[in-house]
Amino acid sequence: MKNVLVLGAGQLARMMDLAGTPLNLNIKAFDVRTDQVVHPLANEHSYGDLQTGIDACDVITAEFEHISHDVLAKCEASGKLLPSSEAIKIGGDRRLEKALLESCKVANAKHVIIESRDDFDNALNTLALPIIFKSALEGYDGKGQWRLKDIAQADAIWQDMQQFVEQANTSVKQGIVAEQMVPFDREISIVGARSRTGEIAVYPITENHHTNGVLSVSIAVNVDPSLQQQALEVFTKLTEKLDYVGVLAIEFFQVGQQLLVNEIAPRVHNSGHWTQQGTDCCQFENHLRAIVGLPLGNTELIRPTAMVNILGEDSVPEQVLAIPGVAMHWYNKQKRAGRKMGHINICAASERQLAEKLQQIAGLLDQQAYPDLQQFADKLEHRLA
Protein backbone atom coordinates (compact mmCIF):
# COMPACT_ATOMS: atom_id res chain seq x y z
CA MET A 1 0.00 0.00 0.00
CA LYS A 2 1.37 3.40 -1.00
CA ASN A 3 -0.20 6.76 -0.24
CA VAL A 4 -0.43 9.35 -3.01
CA LEU A 5 -1.47 12.97 -2.51
CA VAL A 6 -2.84 14.70 -5.61
CA LEU A 7 -2.75 18.50 -5.76
CA GLY A 8 -6.23 19.37 -7.00
CA ALA A 9 -9.50 17.59 -6.24
CA GLY A 10 -11.28 17.59 -9.58
CA GLN A 11 -12.14 14.89 -12.07
CA LEU A 12 -8.53 13.98 -12.82
CA ALA A 13 -7.81 13.17 -9.16
CA ARG A 14 -11.11 11.27 -9.11
CA MET A 15 -10.10 9.14 -12.10
CA MET A 16 -6.62 8.55 -10.63
CA ASP A 17 -8.33 7.15 -7.56
CA LEU A 18 -10.56 4.91 -9.67
CA ALA A 19 -7.50 3.59 -11.49
CA GLY A 20 -5.19 3.39 -8.48
CA THR A 21 -7.39 1.57 -5.97
CA PRO A 22 -7.01 -1.86 -7.68
CA LEU A 23 -3.22 -1.40 -7.42
CA ASN A 24 -3.60 -0.91 -3.65
CA LEU A 25 -2.74 2.74 -3.97
CA ASN A 26 -4.42 5.01 -1.49
CA ILE A 27 -5.21 8.34 -3.15
CA LYS A 28 -6.03 11.59 -1.34
CA ALA A 29 -6.64 14.95 -2.97
CA PHE A 30 -5.67 18.45 -1.84
CA ASP A 31 -8.49 20.85 -2.63
CA VAL A 32 -6.80 24.20 -3.34
CA ARG A 33 -10.08 26.08 -2.88
CA THR A 34 -10.54 24.97 0.74
CA ASP A 35 -6.89 24.20 1.61
CA GLN A 36 -8.00 20.79 2.86
CA VAL A 37 -7.03 17.23 2.03
CA VAL A 38 -10.14 15.34 0.93
CA HIS A 39 -11.19 11.99 -0.47
CA PRO A 40 -11.11 12.28 -4.29
CA LEU A 41 -14.53 10.63 -4.70
CA ALA A 42 -16.40 12.10 -1.73
CA ASN A 43 -14.91 15.57 -1.40
CA GLU A 44 -16.79 16.45 1.82
CA HIS A 45 -14.64 14.72 4.40
CA SER A 46 -11.40 16.44 5.38
CA TYR A 47 -8.19 14.69 6.40
CA GLY A 48 -6.47 17.89 7.48
CA ASP A 49 -4.36 20.62 5.95
CA LEU A 50 -1.63 20.47 3.31
CA GLN A 51 1.22 19.74 5.73
CA THR A 52 -0.72 16.86 7.29
CA GLY A 53 -1.32 15.48 3.80
CA ILE A 54 2.34 15.84 2.84
CA ASP A 55 3.50 14.06 6.00
CA ALA A 56 1.04 11.19 5.52
CA CYS A 57 1.88 10.37 1.89
CA ASP A 58 4.69 8.65 0.00
CA VAL A 59 4.36 10.55 -3.27
CA ILE A 60 2.80 13.90 -4.25
CA THR A 61 1.58 14.69 -7.74
CA ALA A 62 -0.67 17.25 -9.43
CA GLU A 63 -3.83 17.16 -11.52
CA PHE A 64 -3.39 20.71 -12.81
CA GLU A 65 -0.57 23.16 -13.37
CA HIS A 66 -2.03 26.39 -12.01
CA ILE A 67 -0.93 25.79 -8.44
CA SER A 68 0.41 28.53 -6.22
CA HIS A 69 4.17 28.51 -5.97
CA ASP A 70 4.01 28.41 -2.14
CA VAL A 71 2.16 25.10 -2.29
CA LEU A 72 4.62 23.73 -4.85
CA ALA A 73 7.60 24.83 -2.72
CA LYS A 74 6.20 23.05 0.36
CA CYS A 75 5.67 19.87 -1.62
CA GLU A 76 9.07 20.01 -3.31
CA ALA A 77 10.75 20.48 0.07
CA SER A 78 9.35 17.11 1.20
CA GLY A 79 11.24 15.39 -1.63
CA LYS A 80 8.02 13.59 -2.63
CA LEU A 81 6.77 15.68 -5.57
CA LEU A 82 6.63 14.08 -9.04
CA PRO A 83 6.80 15.49 -11.62
CA SER A 84 9.06 18.25 -10.29
CA SER A 85 7.79 21.72 -9.43
CA GLU A 86 9.91 23.01 -12.34
CA ALA A 87 7.93 20.87 -14.82
CA ILE A 88 4.60 21.90 -13.27
CA LYS A 89 5.56 25.61 -13.38
CA ILE A 90 6.59 25.34 -17.05
CA GLY A 91 3.21 23.83 -17.89
CA GLY A 92 1.52 26.71 -16.07
CA ASP A 93 3.40 29.57 -17.72
CA ARG A 94 3.42 29.96 -21.50
CA ARG A 95 6.60 32.07 -21.35
CA LEU A 96 8.53 29.22 -19.68
CA GLU A 97 6.89 26.71 -21.99
CA LYS A 98 8.05 28.61 -25.08
CA ALA A 99 11.57 28.88 -23.62
CA LEU A 100 11.63 25.09 -23.10
CA LEU A 101 10.49 24.42 -26.67
CA GLU A 102 13.14 26.79 -28.03
CA SER A 103 15.89 25.27 -25.90
CA CYS A 104 14.94 21.78 -27.14
CA LYS A 105 14.69 23.07 -30.74
CA VAL A 106 11.12 21.79 -31.00
CA ALA A 107 8.99 23.33 -33.76
CA ASN A 108 6.16 25.56 -32.51
CA ALA A 109 4.09 28.54 -33.67
CA LYS A 110 6.03 31.76 -34.28
CA HIS A 111 5.58 33.95 -31.19
CA VAL A 112 6.57 37.11 -29.31
CA ILE A 113 6.54 37.56 -25.54
CA ILE A 114 4.81 40.81 -24.62
CA GLU A 115 5.76 42.85 -21.59
CA SER A 116 5.39 46.38 -22.96
CA ARG A 117 3.71 48.38 -25.70
CA ASP A 118 6.98 48.13 -27.67
CA ASP A 119 6.76 44.33 -27.53
CA PHE A 120 3.15 44.54 -28.68
CA ASP A 121 4.11 46.74 -31.66
CA ASN A 122 6.96 44.36 -32.39
CA ALA A 123 4.49 41.45 -32.43
CA LEU A 124 2.28 43.33 -34.90
CA ASN A 125 5.31 43.94 -37.12
CA THR A 126 6.82 40.47 -37.01
CA LEU A 127 3.72 38.23 -36.96
CA ALA A 128 1.22 38.14 -39.80
CA LEU A 129 -2.51 38.45 -39.06
CA PRO A 130 -4.42 36.72 -37.64
CA ILE A 131 -2.59 36.74 -34.31
CA ILE A 132 -3.71 35.04 -31.13
CA PHE A 133 -2.75 36.59 -27.79
CA LYS A 134 -2.72 34.29 -24.79
CA SER A 135 -2.32 35.06 -21.11
CA ALA A 136 0.95 33.59 -19.86
CA LEU A 137 -0.61 32.26 -16.66
CA GLU A 138 -3.88 30.53 -15.84
CA GLY A 139 -5.04 29.89 -19.39
CA TYR A 140 -7.22 26.86 -19.90
CA ASP A 141 -10.16 25.86 -22.08
CA GLY A 142 -9.46 28.83 -24.35
CA LYS A 143 -9.80 31.35 -21.48
CA GLY A 144 -7.58 34.45 -21.41
CA GLN A 145 -7.21 34.64 -25.19
CA TRP A 146 -7.70 37.42 -27.71
CA ARG A 147 -7.78 37.00 -31.48
CA LEU A 148 -6.68 39.87 -33.70
CA LYS A 149 -7.94 39.53 -37.28
CA ASP A 150 -8.20 43.16 -38.28
CA ILE A 151 -5.43 45.65 -37.43
CA ALA A 152 -8.12 48.25 -36.62
CA GLN A 153 -8.88 46.26 -33.44
CA ALA A 154 -5.27 46.37 -32.22
CA ASP A 155 -5.66 49.28 -29.78
CA ALA A 156 -8.84 47.91 -28.26
CA ILE A 157 -7.20 44.52 -27.70
CA TRP A 158 -4.09 46.14 -26.26
CA GLN A 159 -6.18 48.08 -23.74
CA ASP A 160 -8.20 45.04 -22.80
CA MET A 161 -5.07 42.94 -22.31
CA GLN A 162 -3.34 45.64 -20.29
CA GLN A 163 -6.29 45.85 -17.94
CA PHE A 164 -6.33 42.05 -17.69
CA VAL A 165 -2.63 41.94 -16.75
CA GLU A 166 -2.96 44.76 -14.19
CA GLN A 167 -5.95 43.18 -12.49
CA ALA A 168 -4.39 39.73 -12.33
CA ASN A 169 -4.13 38.28 -8.86
CA THR A 170 -1.26 35.85 -9.45
CA SER A 171 1.81 35.09 -7.36
CA VAL A 172 4.02 35.57 -10.43
CA LYS A 173 3.56 38.54 -12.78
CA GLN A 174 0.92 37.87 -15.41
CA GLY A 175 1.95 38.47 -19.04
CA ILE A 176 0.95 37.84 -22.64
CA VAL A 177 2.34 35.65 -25.41
CA ALA A 178 1.45 36.61 -28.99
CA GLU A 179 1.32 33.72 -31.44
CA GLN A 180 0.92 33.47 -35.15
CA MET A 181 -2.38 31.72 -35.94
CA VAL A 182 -1.43 28.40 -37.54
CA PRO A 183 -3.57 27.29 -40.51
CA PHE A 184 -3.57 23.72 -39.25
CA ASP A 185 -5.08 20.69 -40.98
CA ARG A 186 -6.02 19.20 -37.64
CA GLU A 187 -5.12 19.16 -33.97
CA ILE A 188 -3.58 16.08 -32.40
CA SER A 189 -1.97 15.22 -29.11
CA ILE A 190 0.28 12.61 -27.64
CA VAL A 191 -0.05 11.39 -24.08
CA GLY A 192 2.69 9.29 -22.57
CA ALA A 193 4.45 8.32 -19.39
CA ARG A 194 8.09 8.39 -18.28
CA SER A 195 9.09 6.29 -15.30
CA ARG A 196 11.51 6.99 -12.48
CA THR A 197 14.10 4.92 -14.36
CA GLY A 198 13.63 6.83 -17.63
CA GLU A 199 11.47 4.23 -19.37
CA ILE A 200 9.04 5.85 -21.84
CA ALA A 201 5.65 4.53 -23.00
CA VAL A 202 3.43 6.69 -25.21
CA TYR A 203 -0.12 6.13 -26.38
CA PRO A 204 -1.05 6.44 -30.05
CA ILE A 205 -1.55 10.05 -31.14
CA THR A 206 -5.12 11.23 -30.86
CA GLU A 207 -7.08 13.58 -33.11
CA ASN A 208 -8.81 16.34 -31.16
CA HIS A 209 -11.74 18.52 -32.06
CA HIS A 210 -12.51 21.75 -30.18
CA THR A 211 -15.80 23.59 -29.87
CA ASN A 212 -15.47 27.25 -28.82
CA GLY A 213 -11.90 26.63 -27.63
CA VAL A 214 -12.86 23.61 -25.46
CA LEU A 215 -12.07 20.00 -26.33
CA SER A 216 -15.25 18.27 -27.46
CA VAL A 217 -14.16 15.04 -29.17
CA SER A 218 -10.96 12.97 -29.22
CA ILE A 219 -10.51 9.97 -31.41
CA ALA A 220 -7.90 7.23 -31.33
CA VAL A 221 -7.72 5.11 -34.44
CA ASN A 222 -4.87 3.63 -36.44
CA VAL A 223 -2.15 6.26 -36.71
CA ASP A 224 0.22 7.47 -39.39
CA PRO A 225 3.57 5.96 -38.27
CA SER A 226 5.60 8.99 -39.35
CA LEU A 227 3.44 11.38 -37.29
CA GLN A 228 3.58 9.00 -34.32
CA GLN A 229 7.37 8.93 -34.65
CA GLN A 230 7.60 12.75 -34.77
CA ALA A 231 5.38 13.06 -31.71
CA LEU A 232 7.40 10.43 -29.84
CA GLU A 233 10.64 12.28 -30.63
CA VAL A 234 9.23 15.52 -29.21
CA PHE A 235 7.91 13.67 -26.15
CA THR A 236 11.32 12.06 -25.57
CA LYS A 237 13.25 15.34 -25.99
CA LEU A 238 11.04 17.30 -23.61
CA THR A 239 10.70 14.64 -20.91
CA GLU A 240 14.41 13.85 -20.93
CA LYS A 241 15.29 17.54 -20.72
CA LEU A 242 13.04 17.88 -17.64
CA ASP A 243 13.95 14.46 -16.21
CA TYR A 244 10.20 14.14 -16.12
CA VAL A 245 8.37 11.46 -14.13
CA GLY A 246 4.67 10.79 -14.73
CA VAL A 247 2.23 11.35 -17.57
CA LEU A 248 2.74 14.35 -19.85
CA ALA A 249 0.54 15.46 -22.73
CA ILE A 250 1.65 17.46 -25.75
CA GLU A 251 -0.86 19.22 -28.02
CA PHE A 252 0.17 19.74 -31.64
CA PHE A 253 -1.05 21.50 -34.75
CA GLN A 254 -0.62 19.27 -37.80
CA VAL A 255 0.31 21.24 -40.93
CA GLY A 256 0.81 18.86 -43.84
CA GLN A 257 3.15 16.23 -42.42
CA GLN A 258 4.70 18.58 -39.88
CA LEU A 259 3.80 18.83 -36.21
CA LEU A 260 4.06 22.15 -34.36
CA VAL A 261 3.73 22.06 -30.60
CA ASN A 262 0.82 24.14 -29.29
CA GLU A 263 1.26 23.48 -25.59
CA ILE A 264 2.25 20.90 -23.03
CA ALA A 265 0.39 19.70 -19.95
CA PRO A 266 2.44 18.18 -17.11
CA ARG A 267 -0.35 15.80 -16.10
CA VAL A 268 -3.01 13.41 -17.28
CA HIS A 269 -5.03 15.11 -20.01
CA ASN A 270 -8.56 15.29 -21.34
CA SER A 271 -7.37 14.06 -24.75
CA GLY A 272 -6.18 10.85 -23.04
CA HIS A 273 -9.48 9.90 -21.39
CA TRP A 274 -10.20 7.44 -24.21
CA THR A 275 -7.37 5.25 -22.84
CA GLN A 276 -9.75 4.07 -20.09
CA GLN A 277 -11.50 1.85 -22.66
CA GLY A 278 -9.11 1.86 -25.64
CA THR A 279 -6.05 0.39 -23.90
CA ASP A 280 -5.12 -2.19 -21.26
CA CYS A 281 -3.59 0.43 -18.97
CA CYS A 282 -5.17 3.89 -18.96
CA GLN A 283 -3.30 7.19 -18.54
CA PHE A 284 -4.40 7.47 -14.89
CA GLU A 285 -2.95 4.09 -14.01
CA ASN A 286 0.23 4.73 -15.97
CA HIS A 287 0.71 8.08 -14.24
CA LEU A 288 0.43 6.38 -10.86
CA ARG A 289 2.68 3.50 -11.92
CA ALA A 290 5.32 6.01 -13.06
CA ILE A 291 5.34 8.11 -9.89
CA VAL A 292 5.27 5.25 -7.37
CA GLY A 293 7.98 3.33 -9.24
CA LEU A 294 6.03 0.44 -10.80
CA PRO A 295 6.70 -0.84 -14.34
CA LEU A 296 4.71 1.07 -16.98
CA GLY A 297 1.66 -0.64 -18.50
CA ASN A 298 0.87 -1.44 -22.13
CA THR A 299 -0.10 1.70 -24.11
CA GLU A 300 -1.13 0.00 -27.37
CA LEU A 301 -4.50 0.77 -28.89
CA ILE A 302 -6.60 -2.36 -28.43
CA ARG A 303 -9.65 -1.09 -30.36
CA PRO A 304 -10.67 2.12 -32.11
CA THR A 305 -12.04 4.45 -29.44
CA ALA A 306 -13.55 7.93 -29.30
CA MET A 307 -14.25 10.24 -26.38
CA VAL A 308 -17.04 12.80 -26.31
CA ASN A 309 -16.96 15.47 -23.59
CA ILE A 310 -20.19 16.23 -21.77
CA LEU A 311 -20.18 20.01 -21.37
CA GLY A 312 -22.75 21.74 -19.15
CA GLU A 313 -25.21 18.78 -19.10
CA ASP A 314 -25.98 16.47 -16.19
CA SER A 315 -27.75 13.68 -18.03
CA VAL A 316 -27.71 11.87 -21.36
CA PRO A 317 -30.49 9.70 -22.82
CA GLU A 318 -30.32 6.15 -21.47
CA GLN A 319 -30.33 4.74 -25.00
CA VAL A 320 -26.72 5.91 -25.31
CA LEU A 321 -25.71 3.37 -22.65
CA ALA A 322 -27.57 0.64 -24.53
CA ILE A 323 -25.11 0.92 -27.43
CA PRO A 324 -22.47 -1.83 -27.06
CA GLY A 325 -19.01 -0.50 -26.30
CA VAL A 326 -20.19 2.74 -24.66
CA ALA A 327 -18.85 3.69 -21.20
CA MET A 328 -20.02 6.68 -19.17
CA HIS A 329 -17.74 8.63 -16.86
CA TRP A 330 -19.48 11.23 -14.69
CA TYR A 331 -17.47 13.59 -12.47
CA ASN A 332 -20.07 14.19 -9.75
CA LYS A 333 -20.10 17.96 -10.38
CA GLN A 334 -22.79 20.61 -10.07
CA LYS A 335 -24.22 21.57 -13.44
CA ARG A 336 -22.91 24.85 -14.85
CA ALA A 337 -22.99 26.17 -18.42
CA GLY A 338 -20.02 24.87 -20.41
CA ARG A 339 -18.54 22.96 -17.45
CA LYS A 340 -16.84 19.62 -18.05
CA MET A 341 -19.37 17.32 -16.36
CA GLY A 342 -18.27 13.93 -17.67
CA HIS A 343 -17.33 12.08 -20.83
CA ILE A 344 -18.51 9.19 -22.95
CA ASN A 345 -16.04 6.65 -24.30
CA ILE A 346 -17.12 4.75 -27.38
CA CYS A 347 -15.27 1.63 -28.51
CA ALA A 348 -15.74 -0.35 -31.69
CA ALA A 349 -14.29 -3.34 -33.52
CA SER A 350 -13.31 -1.23 -36.54
CA GLU A 351 -13.06 2.41 -37.56
CA ARG A 352 -16.13 1.98 -39.74
CA GLN A 353 -18.11 0.65 -36.81
CA LEU A 354 -16.86 3.51 -34.65
CA ALA A 355 -18.09 6.00 -37.24
CA GLU A 356 -21.50 4.28 -37.22
CA LYS A 357 -21.72 4.40 -33.44
CA LEU A 358 -20.78 8.08 -33.41
CA GLN A 359 -23.57 8.70 -35.91
CA GLN A 360 -25.98 6.83 -33.66
CA ILE A 361 -24.91 8.82 -30.59
CA ALA A 362 -25.02 12.14 -32.44
CA GLY A 363 -28.63 11.29 -33.30
CA LEU A 364 -29.49 10.63 -29.64
CA LEU A 365 -27.79 13.64 -28.06
CA ASP A 366 -29.17 17.17 -28.09
CA GLN A 367 -27.65 18.94 -31.11
CA GLN A 368 -27.41 22.22 -29.18
CA ALA A 369 -25.42 20.69 -26.35
CA TYR A 370 -23.10 18.85 -28.75
CA PRO A 371 -23.05 21.23 -31.71
CA ASP A 372 -20.13 19.72 -33.61
CA LEU A 373 -20.65 16.03 -32.93
CA GLN A 374 -22.76 15.35 -36.00
CA GLN A 375 -20.25 17.17 -38.18
CA PHE A 376 -17.41 15.21 -36.63
CA ALA A 377 -19.21 11.90 -37.15
CA ASP A 378 -19.89 12.84 -40.80
CA LYS A 379 -16.24 13.77 -41.29
CA LEU A 380 -15.04 10.43 -39.95
CA GLU A 381 -17.53 8.51 -42.08
CA HIS A 382 -16.50 10.53 -45.14
CA ARG A 383 -12.83 9.84 -44.52
CA LEU A 384 -13.44 6.09 -44.39
CA ALA A 385 -15.67 6.06 -47.47
The span of 7-15, 131-139, 193-201, 288-296 binding ligand ATP (CB under 6 A) equals 131-139
x-marked contacts with ligand ATP along 247-286 as a string, rule CB under 6 A: ----x----------xx-----------------------
Q: Is position 164 an interface residue for ligand ATP (rule: CB under 6 A)?
A: no
Q: Is the Cβ of residue 265 or residue 355 nearer to ligand ATP in the bound state?
A: 265
Nearest-approach distance from CB 93 to ligand ATP, in angstroms: 12
Nearer residue to ligand ATP within complex by CB, 41 or 181: 181
How far is the C-alpha of 302 from the C-alpha of 106, rounded, in Å? Answer: 30
Q: Does 93 bind ligand ATP (CB under 6 A)?
A: no
Among 2, 41, 96, 142, binds ligand ATP (CB under 6 A): 142
Of the two residues 51 and 153, which places its CB atom closer to ligand ATP in the complex? Answer: 153
Q: For the chain, where are the alpha helices, taking DSSP H only?
A: 11-20, 50-56, 69-77, 85-91, 94-103, 117-126, 154-167, 225-242, 275-278, 283-292, 319-322, 351-364, 373-384
Whether residue 83 has a cis bond before it, omega within 30° of 0: yes
Rounded CA-CA distance 307/80 in Å is 33
Closest CA to 250 of 291, 199, 212, 194: 194
Contact 291, 247 (CB under 8 A): no
**Strands 36-38 and 46-48: what pairing?**
antiparallel
The nearer residue to ligand ATP, 176 or 348, going by C-beta atoms, is: 176
- The answer to whether residues 263 and 182 touch, using CB atoms and an 8 Å cutoff, is no
Per CB under 6 A, does 325 bind ligand ATP? no
Q: How many of the chain's residues bind ligand ATP (CB under 6 A)?
A: 19
Under the phi-then-psi rule, with left for phi > 0, alpha for psi from -120 to 50, and beta for the rest, what region is 296?
Answer: beta
Question: Rounded to the nearest whole angstrom, what is the least distance from the CB of residue 377 to ligand ATP in the complex?
Answer: 19
Residues that contact Mg ion, how many (by CB under 5 A)? 1
Residues within the interface to Mg ion (CB under 5 A):
251
Residues within the interface to ligand ATP (CB under 6 A):
109, 132, 134, 139-143, 179, 181-182, 187, 210, 213-215, 251, 262-263
